Amino acid sequence: MPSSLCTTVPLSNGLQMPILGLGTSHHGGFCRAAVLHALGACGVRHVDTARRYGCEEQLGEAVRTSGVPRGDLWLTDKLWPGDYGYEAAKKACLESRSRMGVDYFDLYLMHWPEAWQPGRSNREVRAETWRALEELYDEGVCRAIGVSNFLVHHLEQLKEDCSVVPHVNQVEYHVYQQPRQLMEYCRKEGIVFQGYCPLAKGQTLGDPTVLKLAEKYRRTPAQICIRWSIQNGVVTIPKSTKKERIEENCQVFGFDLLPEDMKSIGELHCDTKVVHLTFPLWKG
């Protein structure tokens, strides 16, 4: 396995999280062969999934088939809002663990800040759910706990209401979506910033600036975008079910973007999001 794929970032509890991983999704299906290729030929050791994606059982089977020791892997799963609440959250986590066939998750995240419980405040349900995750963390079911898609005010409320500051916050991050204020807050609070959709669902691959740099560095546009994300210290999880794309996405450690090129990509931010939500995520 290339040693570069072992590059990690430290969490506040001392764990080392691989900076590059493979994302999975319910969009496009789950490809067992692609996951096996990522773990085997490509040397990927970080896989991200969620109950919502419906592939926990298949992923667990692929992990076992790969022969990679469990201790060498970083597995992230997520709790869907429909399972928020103290008892429901604990039950859902243990069920996910059972479906995947593992003893523990390396990281377990609340998937969204929206609680979906009419008559109760989002803040109240988030705090109750987070306390369940804190107990799962104390019990060793989850080696680290975090959140996804939380904004600064959500994190501030959680800090006031609970005792463990999230170890990770996973949000949409690519050249067109660079939430710098949120990133700075996370770094100040010791929360590792993780980005999904690093290629903006392919929208960045035809950008003139990205294409120019791809030619300059003799790399693909995808590699330029992923390298830029990693070079910013962001844990990055590109998704693909194609073996050749997974290989391409992993070959991002043999070069560095020059400061002026990092700056030119940074100037592409236009606050564009490619993940469109069907519920009022950003409220409450």
Cα-based distances in Å from 130 to 21, 24, 70, 133, 155: 25, 24, 26, 5, 11
Quick check: 93 and 142 in contact, CB under 8 A? Answer: yes
**Tokens standing for residue 146:** 């975090």
And the tokens for 8? 């990690």
53 is a catalytic site residue: yes
Tokens representing 168 are: 């990770």
Count of CB atoms situated within 10 Å of the CB of 270: 9
Q: Which of 79, 36, 77, 35 lies closest to 56, judged by CA?
A: 77
In DSSP notation, 128-153 reads: HHHHHHHHHHHTTSBSSEEEES--HH
Which residue out of 53, 137, 173, 196 is catalytically annotated?
53
Q: In whole angstroms, what is the distance from residue 46 CA to residue 52 CA?
A: 19
Q: Give the residue among 134, 136, 110 at the shortest CA–CA distance from 123.
A: 110
Q: The tokens of 48 are what?
A: 């991200």
- Residues 6 or more apart from 229 whose CB is under 8 A from it? 173, 174, 195, 198, 236
Indicate which residues carry an active-site annotation. 53
